[in-house]
């Protein structure tokens, strides 16, 4: 297929673009004015912050895979509307944060954390237009994601692992290469108007903190974490177990990396 990847220079997007090329697709990338183009990819001019540029950029592609960064409610909704107006089927990335606490799956109704409240409406518009939604968990691997970006950094600063709030909070996680393979599978096999979960396991955040903190971790009080990180700190207190059983069963997606803690232990 001829596929436009939005966000191909980013952490997840670069892995997804590489996997799509490896699978034999003709991949192009959306490029802002004077922006960077990954080697081997065609550039299509456009900017998520300029909705008027997105319809023309997306026209003529068999699929548009959106793994670009969230820009906020107004910008994200305008960008999605513009992309859908092009008529090219859209694969859009949201995340497990769009779901509620506890055990949830692909059929669970959105109950987004307030910091990403608008993503439920983004999903609704994409699905109503016959697109697909991919909800990754916490993404790790290849030196990127929140594990080195926050957990390991705070452990290095404090000399001990830190988790926010109470112990026992769980998050779904996925290795970036497994998530990239999921985009290939969704593009090739998923039906219109469907939701898919990119989660390989559920891990306690205090266990992640201990794994990067030399085996020890302590709670970082929510008020202190909020003062440094902002509203996103509260997201780390939401306990969630997001199943991908339906995605695995219907699409045949089988993550190769199924132990974040094991991955961290091997990386030491």
182-216 tens-digit pLDDT: 999 999 999 999 999 999 999 999 999 999 999 99
Domain total in the chain: 2
Q: What average pLDDT does this structure show over 104-116? A: 95
Looking at the domain assignment, is residue 166 inside a domain?
yes
Task: Give dist(CA 177, CA 182) in Å, integer.
Answer: 9
Looking at the domain assignment, is residue 251 inside a domain?
no
Looking at the domain assignment, is residue 73 inside a domain?
yes
**pLDDT at position 34 over 80:** no
Residue 44 and residue 144 share a domain: no
* CATH code of residue 164: 3.90.25
Looking at the domain assignment, is residue 250 inside a domain?
no
Name, in order, each residue with C-beta under 8 angstroms of 193's C-beta and a sequence gap of 6 or more.
Answer: 127, 128, 130, 131, 132
Q: How many CB atoms lie within 10 A of CB 159?
A: 9
CA torsion angle 242 197 134 167 (round to 10): 30
Structure tokens at 160: 């001990």
Looking at the domain assignment, is residue 83 inside a domain?
yes
* CATH code of residue 18: 3.40.50.720
Residue 144 and residue 78 share a domain: no
- DSSP β-bridge partners for residue 4: 28, 64
Q: What average pLDDT does this structure show over 143-164? A: 94
Name, in order, each residue with C-beta under 8 angstroms of 79's C-beta and a sequence gap of 6 or more.
Answer: 48, 51, 54, 71
Write out the H or E segment, with its range, that includes residue 82. helix 73-85
For 133, the domain range is: 2-138+174-198
Looking at the domain assignment, is residue 72 inside a domain?
yes
Residue 166 and residue 94 share a domain: no
What integer pLDDT is reported at residue 144 of this predicted model?
93
Looking at the domain assignment, is residue 35 inside a domain?
yes
Residue 184 and residue 56 share a domain: yes
CB 10 within 8 A of CB 18: no
- Mean pLDDT taken over the chain: 95
What integer pLDDT is reported at residue 40 of this predicted model?
78
Task: Give dist(CA 183, CA 237) in Å, integer.
Answer: 28
Looking at the domain assignment, is residue 247 inside a domain?
no
Residue 154 and residue 32 share a domain: no
Confidence of residue 265 (pLDDT cuts 50, 70, 90): confident
């Amino acid at each position: 297929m001829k596929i436009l990847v939005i966000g191909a220079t980013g952490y997840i997007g670069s892995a997804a673009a590489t996997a799509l090329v490896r699978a034999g697709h003709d991949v192009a990338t959306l490029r802002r004015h004077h922006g960077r183009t990954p080697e081997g990819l065609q550039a299509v001019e456009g900017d998520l912050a300029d909705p008027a540029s997105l319809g023309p950029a997306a026209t003529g592609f068999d699929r548009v895979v959106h793994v670009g960064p969230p820009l906020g409610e107004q910008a994200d909704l305008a960008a999605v509307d513009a992309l859908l107006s092009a008529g090219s089927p859209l694969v859009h990335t949201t995340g497990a944060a769009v779901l509620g606490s506890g055990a949830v799956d692909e059929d669970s109704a959105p109950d987004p954390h307030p910091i990403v409240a608008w993503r439920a409406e983004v999903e609704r518009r994409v699905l109503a237009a016959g697109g697909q939604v991919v909800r990754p968990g916490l993404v790790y691997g290849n030196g990127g994601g929140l594990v080195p970006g926050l957990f390991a950094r705070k452990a290095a600063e404090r000399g001990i692992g830190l988790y926010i709030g109470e112990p026992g909070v769980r998050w779904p996680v996925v290795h970036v290469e497994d998530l990239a393979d999921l985009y290939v599978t969704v593009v090739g096999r998923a039906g219109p108007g469907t939701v898919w979960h990119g989660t390989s396991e559920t891990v306690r955040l205090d266990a992640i903190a201990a794994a990067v903190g030399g085996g020890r971790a302590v709670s970082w009080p929510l008020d202190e974490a909020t003062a440094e990180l902002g509203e996103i700190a509260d997201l780390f207190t939401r306990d969630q177990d997001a199943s991908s059983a339906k995605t695995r069963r219907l699409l045949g997606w089988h993550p190769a990396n199924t132990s974040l803690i094991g991955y961290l232990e091997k990386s030491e």
